[in-house]
Amino acid sequence: MAEKNADKYATKLEEYADSLGGITPIQRKNRKSLWIALGCIIGVVALFSIGFLVGYFGRTSKDHNKTCNSDQESKEADDKIHFEDFHHIFQQSVSVENLEAVMREFSSKPHIAGSLRQLDLANKLVERWTEFGFDKVEKPEYRVLLSYPQPSQPNRVTLIEDGRAIYNITGKIKISPGPDRTQTFDHYPYLAYAHNGTVEADLVYANYGGEKDFQKLSEMNVTVRGKIVIMRSRRVWNAEKHGAAGALVYTDPSFSAQQGYGSNQVYPNSWWLSSDGVQEGTILYGSYNGDPLTPVLPASKGMYRRPVNESELPKIPAQAISYGDAMELLRRLGGAEAPENWQGGLNITYHIGPGFKSSSAKIKLEVNNRLQEKTIYNVVGSIVGREEPHRYILVGNHRDSWAFGAVDALSGTTVTNEIARLLGTLVKKGWRPRRTIKICSWGGEEFNLIGSHEWVEENAHILAERAIAYVNLDVAVCGDYVLRARASPLFKQVTYKWAREVKNPDNSEGSDTIYDNWLKRSPSDINSSEPMIYNLFIASDYASFYQYLGVPCADFGYWFGYGSKSSLYPVYHSQQDTFYWIKKFVDQNFEVHKAMTQFAGGLVLDLADQPLLPYDIMNYAQALNHSFHVLNSSPKFLANGISLSVLQDAVTGFLYASKQFESRKSKLAIHKSPLWLRNLNDQMVSVEKAFIYPYGLPGKIQSRHVAFNFGFHNLDPIKATFPGVTEALYLAETSNDWNLVRKQVSIAVYSVQSATRVLQLPMK
């Protein structure tokens, strides 16, 4: 081959020489021999050179690869130091002055969903987040069905005796941001979506209006059919189901004024609700969250809207009243004395009725609410991720309130806006998250989780693929007592971490961190050496992310406490939920808001920047195992010939697969290959999604999470396990349809097995 190439090369050289001038044949022959020899020498040298270069550069390439790997590891180490430095800047830069200023500004006027004030607040957030440096700030809008009182015809409750009114409750009051403010507003307390109409009937006291309460009334031979029910919760749907003609709802001082309701013991002199405070809210509890007219579809332009009479709206009139007004009715009530555990905080003896001590007395209820299609607005700000732009970390809360709403929901807005400001500061300093962060301000939550649900419906396919966490801060601060956490078990590790990182805002008892205080005041009922994390249910904007799509979610707030017990705050959903209330009685220096910003912001940054998501599958498996044992403790299964052995085997298999996964994960994560990390992260997130049953659970088609949720008729957060099964058990008690239970057990088995298969996917 070398000779052949040399000969070819010599001929070319000869032709080139001929072109320079003529030569004799003998000269040509001699020169050709010389060129052939020279070509052979050049060929040998070329082959030697090629061999040398291959060897040299082969060794150099190996050395270069080693250097590149070393450089990559060094770069990853530098990146870690880099983003952790930025995280430290975040923690040190939280401003109590900014927190207080936003709260004061946003809570200065009422801002119910659909109002011009709500649009104004949405525009303020768009402007601010744009100035902070977000890559995109959007304002999605939806046309939805809301419900309002009519100022020209306020709702009214009248106690009539012998044809004349002896006590009037008019649904119109004056409200103010605080006793130190001169500005007042006309306000019309009501229950959203309560049916229009006028009813005159006897009154029956039904305690909290729960199913067991109505059963107790039945045992006492008291019927509510055709009567007006008075109760201390908004379970109007239950009163309607049992045949009530109307409902009155109040918040009892046993919750809202536990130290007494004298004027010096309540708002504005104390944090307890005064006797004229009215707790409002929605009574829409149908099969669907979101807009009543557009189930399954987003309420955007051009979408089909079903007729109002098909929209599962309440069918009886109902009205919210104060406990001061409730006392005037209850103290006149006749009938048997209420059971001891039905006696409330009013300084009277509670009776059941029906009717009053005066046989001629009746209650007249007039409700004049109007249904109206209105536009609501979300605000969604995005900072696009550097390495994984199509993986989303979302944090949000709603913006609408029944009146001033300083706690609910502006404590959340205050915290999320401060998180947004600080993220913008980091971006301007050169930071960019590994994954995309979206901060969300929802509209219309108070009516039926409308804003968040419509956005989830509109973006369901994208979110199902890309969303890997949603952190909710609805009521971020309603007290200074203890952290309250509801979360997917995946969040346990990162939640405990950040509770340990942030100093407790109240160190009066010597607690150093949020975690220390949390453990002391709210230990877990399952393991007393850990703080309590409750299951998620359907009470706030995380519901659609978690129950509908299976996005891992958490909800955090610093809660109110009294008598060594945490609880919702006493002025909840009332006109006394003001800046004055929170500044005077809960968070004078906004240190609690600061701590919640540091806690939630640190957690969000970890989710956004850590190459390996801070989730732990073993925590999920242990929670699922506990859920099974709670379920298995019910004797109803065995009594009706239903075996849980296959479900037990599935849970045991998931426990084993989780243990194996965590072991392999710890080894593979060391290599830090982007593909390996992506695979590990996707597997962990997909475990949550494996528990989504696409056809919904009994009676609640949009609640699709099979493992963790409050059973619809079981509100105990400890026993809220396998909700489809527990709901089927409840329904079978009256329908005797035990095949429904068997079906739900099978769905649970299928879901657990699916989650196990997710963990067993190839990891190479």
Structure tokens at 750: 């299928």
Alpha-carbon distance of 682 to 676, in angstroms, equals 10
Asked whether the beta carbons of 709 and 723 are under 8 A apart, the reply is yes
The answer to whether residue 705 is catalytic is yes
What DSSP state is assigned to residue 633? T
Q: Looking at the DSSP assignment, which residues form a beta bridge with residue 230?
A: 205, 248
Q: Which residues contact 434 (CB under 8 A, 6 or more apart)?
A: 83, 385, 386, 387, 388, 608, 609, 610, 611
Alpha-carbon distance of 185 to 171, in angstroms, equals 14
State the catalytic residue, choosing from 254, 643, 663, 666.
643
Beta pairing class for 136-138 and 379-383 = antiparallel
Asked whether the beta carbons of 390 and 682 are under 8 A apart, the reply is no
Asked whether the beta carbons of 371 and 147 are under 8 A apart, the reply is yes
Any idea which residue has 């044809």 for tokens? 163
Alpha-carbon distance of 459 to 390, in angstroms, equals 14
Asked whether the beta carbons of 281 and 573 are under 8 A apart, the reply is yes
State the catalytic residue, choosing from 195, 453, 573, 705.
705
Q: How many CB atoms lie within 10 A of CB 388?
A: 20
The answer to whether residue 643 is catalytic is yes
Alpha-carbon distance of 162 to 155, in angstroms, equals 22
Name the strand (E) or helix (H) holding 587: none
Dmax of the chain from CA atoms? Answer: 147
Alpha-carbon distance of 407 to 645, in angstroms, equals 47
Alpha-carbon distance of 576 to 450, in angstroms, equals 24
The answer to whether residue 682 is catalytic is yes
State the catalytic residue, choosing from 141, 400, 445, 457.
445
Any idea which residue has 């309130």 for tokens? 401
Asked whether the beta carbons of 408 and 445 are under 8 A apart, the reply is no
State the catalytic residue, choosing from 662, 682, 686, 713.
682
Residues with catalytic roles:
445, 643, 682, 705
